Amino acid sequence: METTLRGVGVSHGVAIGEVRHMGTAVLEPPAKQIPVEDAEREQSRAHQAVEAVSADLIARGNLAGGEAQAVLEAQALMAQDPELMADVERRIAVGSTAERGVYDAFASYRALLANAGEYLAGRVADLDDVRNRIVARLLGVPMPGVPDSDEPYVLIARDLAPADTALLDPALVLGFVTEEGGPTSHSAILARALGVPAVVALPGAGEIGEGTVIAVDGSTGDIFVEPSAEKRAELTTAAAARKAALSASSGPGATSDGHKVPLLANIGGPADVAAAVAAGAEGVGLFRTEFLFLDDSKQAPSEEKQIAAYRAVLEAFPEGRVVVRVLDAGADKPLDFLTPADEPNPALGVRGLRSLLDHPDVLRTQLTALAEAAAGLPVYLEVMAPMVADRTDAKAFADACREAGLSAKFGAMVEIPSAALRARSILQEVEFLSLGTNDLAQYTFAADRQVGAVSRLQDPWQPALLDLVALSAEGAKAEGKSCGVCGEAAADPLLACVLTGLGVTSLSMGAASIPYVRSALAKHTLAQCERAAAAARATDTAEEARAAAQAVLSGE
């Protein structure tokens, strides 16, 4: 009998197939004591396992490239955390085996993260995955993971670790569903990059039986269990119609009455460029430069290495716009040479621009490398700072750009509510704004983007978030400057129309979403988008906002 479940759709498309569950295993080692003379050997085993797991994660990242590479390299750093390893050594020294020492040390660290709030609690799934990989290696058992199958299937998991999501084979994994996660979790971001339909935050997903046929609508978040032939046909027809509409849509982003809305790509490095160009991106709206810095947490990459990486991206967009975000370190992306190790709440501490202003040599080298990389190229380079709180921050960044001889435009990311509230003040110092809606929602609602239990507060349709977007866009318009969106909100075709109606001047997203957004904008006038935006802001919940905008744009 057909039943319908509702989660959070995070990656467009429809997948219909049999369920396969992510493999699980009990990896708790026995709590047995070892002789004191064996401690050094066990400590050596632990270190070897950690190094092997770190190397494997980095290798997986190199293979996957792009967004996945940065995520997996961050996990590798997590495995090698010096305080964590010191705890492992202490436990072994008093009689634990290597595997038990690792298990207990990670359990202790896990409890700290789970109670830390904000970013850190959401990293528990990543930490558990690292622990399982190390313990499995020490025990000599296979890692639980993506199931083996010769036939395509829909994958269901409690959550997907980045190492698993990054290497999913779209030819076999038709789509995936998770019980946890949120619209801006690592799994969601990587699913969009892969172009795999996905639904997250679906309670009880694990109870759907192995082999059950389900249909996953990654646009609406609907899951149809044992769908009827009619429902399958309906979904298949709708998916085909969407695909045809996408194929017919090309060229620059614009509303049906010709209002231009440049559609840009979010990228993590040179590996993402090909997909962005293939999708027709008009440039890059968010070039995350962290991937270069995660190779070695002990020191920053050389200026020469940075120049080569930046130039590879800039050369791909002649006459196009490339917006580079300088290093955003701290919180869930700690770097030994840059971020404090003893902050009680790193998400609210020295991260982003604050870290760079504390280490002006790192910022200066990056800005100089960007200037050199752009030299002689017909590209419109723009450079922006993450986590700008006020005009003082904006001025400090602008001054650093000038001192480095950067001729590009420089701007500020709006990720903190104070920046949205004081947008006009900040724009006295910089030339553009770019809204990072992922972090802006996180800080507005005190809701970590990795925690499924608070995913409703991470919904970019929340009217309070739309209010902050409108404030930023209005401030930019008053100053005659631009205000784009580079957060995941821009990847929702319906919301892209609303953002345009709010006054946003460009939209940047994962490459796979660009055709969907281009097609949606082309169906509506600017006036329709403005009415949809006003209708959404007049509501009180995310669900009501989406429904109100949909009603306006569908002519109801």
Q: Indicate which residues carry an active-site annotation.
A: 186, 486
How far is residue 20's CA from residue 153's CA, in Å, rounded to a whole number?
Answer: 6
b/e sequence 193-205, b meaning 16+ C-beta within 10 Å: bbbbbbbbbbeeb
- Helix axes of 124-139 and 98-114: crossing angle, nearest 10 degrees: 180
Tokens of 242: 């969407």
Using the Cα atoms of residue 344, residue 349, residue 350 and residue 352 in order, give the sign of their dihedral. positive
Instruction: Give the span between the Cα atoms of 131 and 322, in whole angstroms.
Output: 38
- C-alpha radius of gyration, the chain, whole number: 23
390 is written with which tokens?
A: 């006020």
Q: Please classify residue 5 by burial: count the beta carbons closer than 10 Å to its beta carbon, then call 0-12 exposed, 13-18 middle and 19+ buried.
A: middle
Q: Rounded distance, CA 511 to CA 193, Å?
A: 7
Long-range contacts of 489-494 (CB under 8 A, 24+ apart): 489/437, 489/460, 489/465, 490/437, 490/517, 491/192, 491/516, 491/517, 492/460, 493/12, 493/517, 493/519, 493/520, 493/521, 494/520, 494/546, 494/549, 494/550, 494/553
Q: 199: which DSSP letter?
A: E
Contact 325, 313 (CB under 8 A): no
